[in-house]
Structure 1
Amino acid sequence: MAGLPGPFFCRALLGFVCLSGRAVEVKVPAEPLSMPVGKTAELSCSYSTSVGDSFALEWSFVQPGKPIAESQPILYYTNGHLYPTGSKAKRASLLQNPPTRGVATLKLTDVHPTDTGTYLCHVNNPPDFYTNGLGLINFTVLVPPSTPLCSQSGQTTVRGSAALRCSSSEGAPKPVYNWVRLGSSPTPSPGSMVQDEVSGQLILTNLSLTSSGTYRCVATNQMGSASCELTLSVTDPSKGRVAGALIGVLLGVLLLLIAAFCLIRFQKERRKKPKETYGGSDLREDAIAPGISEQTSVRADSSDGLLERPLSASTVTTTKSKLPMIV
């Protein structure tokens, strides 16, 4: 049975491995970094290796929630030249250029909210292949909350429930939300008012008329605060029905009064109208001329239109006029 290798053989094997290549060690901050929007950020990265002709450095970026494999390059250094690239090319540079003395810190000016994410410092120096030569930095751009949007939903009637919502489109870290009641009106009881500081939602239950009023939502993070206001109006449907019935009764009474007034006026006008009479000077079709008796009336024959007989002198009676005759 062959014996195990002795100590001399092990030391010789370890020495051969060490001579054939070294590990590339990259150091980055263990804690996440942050910087207010608009400022200049320095993402520290250092390495230890013997820089040779094949030395290469690359900085890349991946958005929050995406895998490292989808990272996009920011800049890279190779063959003695620096090549910024991508959307951050005009704002990205190295703190030391060339980065051949163990310092590969990235300098990023005028940071934007879209700069929040994970940054990768990758050093490649063949034949040092015993580590991946990679360091990861989580970076956050601090942004104050934008003016939130207030909204409401639900049944804003007595004994109903309503939900008030508040949300800012921008803010890093994520803002917390707090609702307050304005004015001197009584605040709803704690059991009927529940709010979520993370989602910005305020739930009001068992509403009453005293729940009406103005509510303010304040969004806050370490960079500042912003607020919006909302007016809640609670109505009582039962009062609305009573008022509607009362208005209907009043309208009915008013219509009856108008009808009675019109009827009374019509009766008065009818009584004032005079009856149809004939005056003494009116001439009737069957009237007889003055001074001629009824015997002088002429009868017409409807069949031939001729007179029965001529009038005789004896049948005509005249009445002398009392007025003098003028010849």
Structure 2
Amino acid sequence: MAGLPGPFLCGALLGFACLSAPGLAVEVKVPAEPLSAPVGHTAELTCSYSTSVGDNFALEWSFVQPGKPISESHPILYFTSGHLYPTGSKAERASLLQNPPTGGVATLKLTKVRASDTGTYLCQVNNPPDFYTNGLGLINLTVLVPPSRPLCSQSGRTSVGGSAALKCTSSEGAPKPVYNWVHLGSSPTPPPGSAVQDEVSGQLILTNLSMSSSGTYRCVATNQMGSASCELTLTVTDSSSGRVAGTLIGVLLGILLLSVAVFCLLRFQKERRKKPKETYGGNDLRVDAVAPGISEQTSLPADASTGLLERSPSASTVTTTKSRLPMLV
């Protein structure tokens, strides 16, 4: 009896293990390397799994934008109970190559891919009561887009001896384009030591500018899908000639102001000479006044005779007579 507990215990444990043994493990496999597809083409994202497909089998494809956590993923399609349910903004372009996906492969087909399709795709299999070892697979997809036409701009002091910064940026392009500046004309590239360019940011720094730095500069944005370019014209000015021009303009402006002043003064004097003489009052001395001792008889006009008849005789004529008194010796 002493040896019974050992075999009994082993049998009990074996029976318990058999009753509680779980189903097959769910394991999802996806490509380890990131995928890429040219814009406008079709992308196929392979997902395979191992499990015993039952009535509770469910498959889900979802998508998350670059830089965001998996918890913010959005569903693309969902398969359960023998039916496929596309959903979300990619529903019209998303499908499964194997439908129903019950044979261990569930490859996602995405047509007419766009730049916004770049991101991480999640293939998840759920099949209770099978337990999970790796029921989730992640695939990174990059949609290849040629560079858009870049925008060229400049800043800085574009005079002799100064510095200028030329900037070139494309709003679209995957992978991220690289930028290269060239100086068109007799000197295809800027003189050594006077220019530094960054192919990643698209910036060209020109220092110690000279008159030969003037001209047309072209920026070319390039990636594996193509290239695009823009141009700008840089004009370097001579500050000394600018000062001479400013002085000349100042002198001409001064002469103009002086001429206007002289013209106004001459016009004022001319208008002053044209003014009529002032009329003198009764108390002022008249030039035609009669001096004392001179006899003068003033006759009124003939048409005023009627008025004279009505006046006193002494008022009809005015006579000034020099005194004729006899002189006494």
Match of 2:38 in 1: 36
How far apart, in 2, do the equivalents of 1:76 and 1:56 lie? 8
The residue type equivalent to 1:33 in the other structure is L
Match of 2:157 in 1: 155
Match of 1:269 in 2: none
Sequence identity (%): 77
Alpha-carbon contact 1:76-1:82 (below 8 Å) kept = yes
User: Superposed, which structure 2 residues align to 1:12-161 within 5 Å?
Assistant: 16=18, 19-161=21-163
Alpha-carbon contact 1:157-1:237 (below 8 Å) kept = yes
> Displacement of 1:107 after TM fit?
0.5
Alpha-carbon contact 1:187-1:211 (below 8 Å) kept = no
For residues 12-66 of structure 1, what are the alpha-carbon distances to aligned partners after superposition, in whole Å with 9 as ceiling and x for unaligned? 5997499422211111100000000111111000111111111000000000000
Task: Check if 1:300 corresponds to 2:297.
Answer: yes
How far apart, in 2, do the equivalents of 1:161 and 1:176 lie? 23
Alpha-carbon contact 2:295-2:320 (below 8 Å) kept = no
Alpha-carbon contact 2:182-2:188 (below 8 Å) kept = no
The residue type equivalent to 1:166 in the other structure is C
- Residue 12 and residue 180 in structure 1: after superposition, are their counterparts in 2 closer, same or farther (change >3 A)? farther
> Displacement of 1:208 after TM fit?
1.1
Deviates more, 1:171-180 or 1:20-29: 20-29
- Residue 13 and residue 108 in structure 1: after superposition, are their counterparts in 2 closer, same or farther (change >3 A)? farther
> Displacement of 1:181 after TM fit?
0.5
The residue type equivalent to 1:106 in the other structure is L
Alpha-carbon contact 1:62-1:72 (below 8 Å) kept = yes
How far apart, in 2, do the equivalents of 1:178 and 1:18 lie? 67
How far apart, in 2, do the equivalents of 1:118 and 1:13 lie? 45
How far apart, in 2, do the equivalents of 1:148 and 1:14 lie? 70
Match of 1:319 in 2: none
The residue type equivalent to 2:221 in the other structure is A
How far apart, in 1, do the equivalents of 2:149 and 2:126 lie? 46
How far apart, in 2, do the equivalents of 1:211 and 1:154 lie? 14
TM-score after normalising by structure 2: 0.73
SS at match of 1:241: helix
User: Superposed, which structure 2 residues align to 1:207-222 within 5 Å?
Assistant: 207-222=209-224
Counterpart of 2:168 (choices 162, 166, 169) is: 166
How far apart, in 2, do the equivalents of 1:157 and 1:68 lie? 53
The residue type equivalent to 1:174 in the other structure is K
How far apart, in 1, do the equivalents of 2:14 and 2:216 lie? 82
Structure 1 gap segments, 5+ residues each: 261-284, 286-296, 310-327
For residues 183-241 of structure 1, what are the alpha-carbon distances to aligned partners after superposition, in whole Å with 9 as ceiling and x for unaligned? 11474322210011111111111111111110000000000000000101111121111
> Displacement of 1:127 after TM fit?
1.2
Counterpart of 1:238 (choices 237, 240, 257) is: 240
- Residue 17 and residue 240 in structure 1: after superposition, are their counterparts in 2 closer, same or farther (change >3 A)? farther
Match of 2:192 in 1: 190
SS at match of 2:171: coil
> Displacement of 1:83 after TM fit?
0.3
Alpha-carbon contact 1:186-1:210 (below 8 Å) kept = no
How far apart, in 2, do the equivalents of 1:33 and 1:169 lie? 23
How far apart, in 1, do the equivalents of 2:71 and 2:218 lie? 44
- Residue 85 and residue 250 in structure 1: after superposition, are their counterparts in 2 closer, same or farther (change >3 A)? closer
For residues 235-275 of structure 1, what are the alpha-carbon distances to aligned partners after superposition, in whole Å with 9 as ceiling and x for unaligned? 11211111332454567679999999xxxxxxxxxxxxxxx
TM-score after normalising by structure 1: 0.74
SS at match of 2:193: helix
How far apart, in 2, do the equivalents of 1:13 and 1:200 lie? 72
Structure 2 gap segments, 5+ residues each: 1-5, 263-287, 289-293, 300-313, 322-329
SS at match of 2:247: helix
- Residue 298 and residue 210 in structure 1: after superposition, are their counterparts in 2 closer, same or farther (change >3 A)? same
> Displacement of 1:299 after TM fit?
3.6
Match of 2:204 in 1: 202
> Displacement of 1:307 after TM fit?
5.0
Alpha-carbon contact 1:122-1:135 (below 8 Å) kept = yes
> Displacement of 1:129 after TM fit?
1.3
The residue type equivalent to 1:85 in the other structure is T
